Chain A
Amino acid sequence: MNLGLVTSFIIAALLMLSIVSMNLRMSQSTQDISMHSMSQNHVSAISDMIQYDFPKVGYNVSGPITDPITVAEEDEIQFQANLDNDTGESVETVTWRLEDDVLAGSINSDHRSLVRDVGGDSQEINVGVTRFEIRYYSFGDPNPMTTPVTNTEDINRIEVILEVQPREGTGRNNQYTTSSWHRVFTPPNLNL
């Protein structure tokens, strides 16, 4: 067989492999960006709701509510607040909780349901939350308090960590891109 022909076949094969590999990586990169963008939109929507609720911890029209935080766990918080600024001073009990069970129907085994409950009106957020962690701080201590917090009246800052992953992974190892959001709240009514 002609040596030149064999060599050119080998080079052509290498070239083809490189092109296929490049195409795969390009499509994975594009898929990653799309997935990440979707996750970021979900993070943005959830964080808007969190930012609506958390600064109002202990708020009421006539003055702050005494000991407004009733449950302070790592994945659950329950507090009282006059969320809608009702002049009749009806105070709502607000709960944010990350369920332990894997979200039904999701391919990603880390997906959990995030629940927001306001006065018994429960709302499940099933958009790929994989982490919802709450840390509690007391004044003058940079380290978080041990959860579940028993002396909730000492809490004056609340840190929320939220992570969202897409339903499907990308690449050979089925990797999930993660969008995260951190925020430390210093509710005015816990700091009077």
Chain B
Amino acid sequence: MGYTEVIQVMGAMIIFALVLTTANRFMLNNDTVRVSSEVEVRAVSIAQDLIEFSKTVPFDAATVGNNVPDDVPDDFVNGNPVPSTTAANRQNIDSFEELNDYSETLNTDLGEFEVTSVIEYMDPSDLTSTTTSRSIYKRISVTVSNESMMNDVNLSYVRVYNNSN
């Protein structure tokens, strides 16, 4: 076998290696999509879990123990800004606004999920806009991130005070 044939064989090997690399990349992408779809489903569940939990705590520190404030919404917690929580876990959260700037890390079989939440007052005349003034509407925005997800999952829920929560 002369040099010409050796060069031809090497050329063929390079072409084949390129095809193999492309095929491997295709399979890796398939696996990545499969894993990230599982992780995204889990992330949505985790965000929904925190939102469901937030519905079970009193609407405001002023309504703890089914207390009805004299002046609604002026007796509610300050909205400019809503104070950051000091709670390190859910067991220490006593009212809705204590979920402001709350964060927790969940270790699961799909890796670590970083969960953060923010509480804001909503403008009663436009529930898509936040306000720094007190109102009977508060929104919780939950963000869940995981290293296997390209984008974070964001869910939000607007809660209204109805004199009994």
Binding site for B on A (CB under 8 A): 3-4, 7-8, 11, 15, 18-19, 22, 25-26, 29-30, 32-33, 36, 40, 43, 55, 140-142, 156-157, 177, 179-186, 188, 191
Contact = CB atoms under 8 A, between A and B. Distances in A.
A114 to B, nearest CB: 18
Interface of B: 1, 5, 9, 12, 16, 19-20, 23, 26-27, 30-31, 33-34, 37-38, 41-42, 45, 48-49, 52-53, 55-56, 89-91, 108-109
B48 A29 contact: no
Given A181-B41, A191-B56, A22 B49 contact: no
Contacts of A186: 49, 52-53, 55-56
Q: Is the interface of B mostly helix, strand, loop or mixed?
A: helix
A18 B20 contact: yes
Contacts of A33: 30, 33-34
Given A3-B1, A182-B45, A183-B49, A15 B16 contact: yes
Contacts of A22: 19-20, 23
B44 to A, nearest CB: 9
Nearest to B55: A188
Given A182-B45, A186-B49, A18 B16 contact: yes
Contacts of A7: 1
Contact of B27 (A25, A40, A188): A25
Given A29-B30, A40-B37, A4 B20 contact: no
B42 A182 contact: yes
Top 8 A-B pairs, shortest CB-CB distance: A4-B1, A191-B56, A186-B52, A184-B49, A29-B27, A183-B45, A140-B91, A29-B30
Contacts of B20: 18, 22
A179 B38 contact: yes
